[in-house]
Amino acid sequence: MKKCIACGMPMEKPEDHAQEDVSKNYCLHCAAPDGRMQTYKEKRENLLTFVIRTQGIDADAAVGVVETMMKDLPAWRRVKR
């Protein structure tokens, strides 16, 4: 099964892919409105908002969670921080 390279979400259905395009290796949550993949900065901001909201932790703790999460994903392995 394919996984999103930018967030690790399994992509089972065409609708899970960006723009329902199964040739794209990132999911709908990682696509910008124009269909390109979000940048590291954009994805990081989105994940921070998500983690703070869903896990109820403060911003400082969320940064650690998000950076650890992103470090192991193929899309960001070679990104300079």
Kindly list the residues in this chain that would bind Zn ion in the complex (CB under 5 A). Answer: 4, 6-7, 9, 27, 29-30
Q: Which is nearer to Zn ion, 2 or 29 (CB)?
A: 29
For residue 30, count CB atoms less than 10 angstroms from its CB and return exposed for 0-12, middle for 13-18, buried for 19 or more.
buried
Q: How far is the CB of 21 from Zn ion (least distance, A)?
A: 13
Distance between CA atoms of 62 and 15, rounded to whole angstroms?
29
Instruction: Output the smallest distance, CB 80 to Zn ion, in A.
Output: 21
Count other Cβ atoms within 10 Å, centred on residue 8.
Answer: 15
Q: Least distance in Å: CB of 25 to Zn ion? A: 9
